[in-house]
Amino acid sequence: MKLNIEKRDLSLLTTMVYRAASSKNTIPVLSGLLLELTPEKGLTMTATDMEIGICASTTNVDVIEAGSVLVNANYFADFIKLLPDENIAMELNVNTSKLNISYGRSKGNINIYREQDYPALPIDKMEYRFAVAQKTLKEALRKTVFAAAANHFRQVFTGVLFDIQNGNQLRVVASDTHRLAYYTHILNETLPEPFKFVIPIRTVNELLRFLEDSDEEIKIATSDNNVIFYKDGFLFLSRLIEGQYPNYEQVIPANFVTHLDIKTHILATSLERVKIMPTDDKLKIPHLQLSFLNDEVHINSNSEMMGEINEVIEGAAIEGDKELKIVFNTGYFLDAVKIFDQECETISISLSGSYGPAMLKNNEKDNYLYILVPMRTSN
């Protein structure tokens, strides 16, 4: 293998792929980054830890001699990142089993692994499912992943659900059982039957690094217990979370007793201040109480150790039961309000009772909602 490539192109490709390599030493070959060079595809890099896999390629390369080599992903990425911004020459020395890298009058060499032991990504049986604009998928994941559980005895709650109903309605859902984020989108194609799968939080966070704010579509396929997101020159594979996702629609209240419209940014800044109140030993979760007086929203948080904060937000439009008081997890409430603060001036909050789920929405868009379950306290 022998090639010339600009440092910028080499670094972009390496940065995109190497993070999928394993950081553990249990199976050394999985810490590798596979470089493959052909006249047709140019330079292709692949990395996998058997949970996720990334494959990307660039044709911005001078192919002198085709070939392939497997190097340590992290070391190679760190080295390439620090090279000067100039043309980089790479050549495999089969006699020494090293990859020689030259830049200007300087050079380095990297030991290689046995690429014969490197596992191929399981994409030979991939089955196309649907396609969606990158900016839509990016928005859907950004607005839902934060509601998934970091840890849960039911593993499906540590992932994001993709659920296609009615032929072309894509629903993207995440929940930790205390809150639920629900995004919907109508696809440009119709699937012959309902279809669903759950992807891990890690997969979502890695995907968000790659997705662009563009109308270019990314295709989605499955292969055994894997999902594949792909477009020209890029492929991202992830193992799916097994298990049945519960009926999330039954969490959404059918009736409400109180409804309020409130300035989103004012609410967000109030919650930011309330969030700094430390927790007490008895109830170690940051929480607040929401109550109403005329057209005012009162947000109260107190700590026996530190003191009390009482925020008053004027000018809210409140309908229904104004005697209601409700307690929320401060962080969970703020997480959603910050999402809405990026897109709407006024947020709509509907309450189904002091102990019933609340629903947050943007009145100008009907494709996203957030359900928040109140807390029960002794107060």
Query: Which amino acid is it at 332?
Result: Y
pTM, two decimal places: 0.93
pLDDT given for residue 307 in this prediction: 86
Residue 28 has what pLDDT? 87
pLDDT at 303: 81
Q: How far apart are CA 176 and CA 126, in angstroms?
A: 30
Closest of 222, 213, 207 to residue 160, by C-alpha:
207
pLDDT computed for residue 281 by the predictor: 66
Across the range 258-273, mean pLDDT stands at 97
How high is the pLDDT of residue 378? 62
Residue 379 has pLDDT above 60, yes or no: no
Over 80: is that where the pLDDT of 352 sits? yes
Give the pLDDT score at 285. 87
Q: Which domains does the chain have, with CATH numbers?
A: 2-117 (3.10.150.10), 132-213+235-249 (3.10.150.10), 252-372 (3.10.150.10)
Give me Rg for the CA atoms of the chain. Answer: 25
Average pLDDT in the 342-354 region?
A: 97
What average pLDDT does this structure show over 315-327? 96
For residue 208, how many other CB atoms are within 10 A of its CB?
13
pLDDT at 374: 97
Q: Tell me, what's the pLDDT at 209?
A: 94
pLDDT in tens, 182-218: 999 999 999 999 999 999 999 999 999 999 999 999 9
pLDDT of residue 50: 94
Angle at 351 between CA 346 and CA 354, to 5 degrees: 135
Q: Which two tokens stand for residue 124?
A: 């030979």
- What is the per-residue pLDDT across 10-68, written as a single tens digit (0 to 9) for each? 999 999 999 999 988 778 899 999 999 999 999 999 999 999 999 999 999 999 999 99
Q: How much is the pLDDT for 196?
A: 96
How confident is the prediction for the chain on average, in pLDDT? 95
Q: What band does 279 get if pLDDT is binned at 50, 70 and 90?
A: confident
286-315 confidence digits (pLDDT tens)? 999 999 999 999 999 988 778 899 999 999
Are the C-beta atoms of 357 and 251 separated by less than 8 Å? yes
Residue 102 β-bridge partners: 89, 107
Q: What would the pLDDT profile of 224-247 be if each residue is shown by its tens digit? A: 899 999 999 999 999 999 999 999
Contacts of 341 (CB under 8 A, 6+ apart): 264, 265, 268
Query: Residues 78-100: pLDDT tens digits?
Result: 999 999 999 999 999 999 999 99
Give a three-class secondary structure readout of the chain: CEEEEEHHHHHHHHHHHHHHCCCCCCCHHHHEEEEEEECCCEEEEEEECCCEEEEEEECCCEEEECEEEEEEHHHHHHHHHCCCCCEEEEEEECCCCEEEEEECCEEEEEEEECHHHCCCCCCCCCEEEEEEEHHHHHHHHHCCHHHCCCCCCCHHHHEEEEEEECCCEEEEEEECCCEEEEEEEECCCCCCCCEEEEEEHHHHHHHHHHCCCCCCEEEEEEECCEEEEEECCEEEEEECCCCCCCCHHHHCCCCCCEEEEEEHHHHHHHHHHHHCCCCCCCCCCCEEEEEEECCEEEEEEEECCCEEEEEEECCCEEEECCCCCEEEEHHHHHHHHHHHHCCCCEEEEEECCCCCCEEEECCCCCCEEEEECCCCCCC
222 vs 278, residue with greater confidence? 222
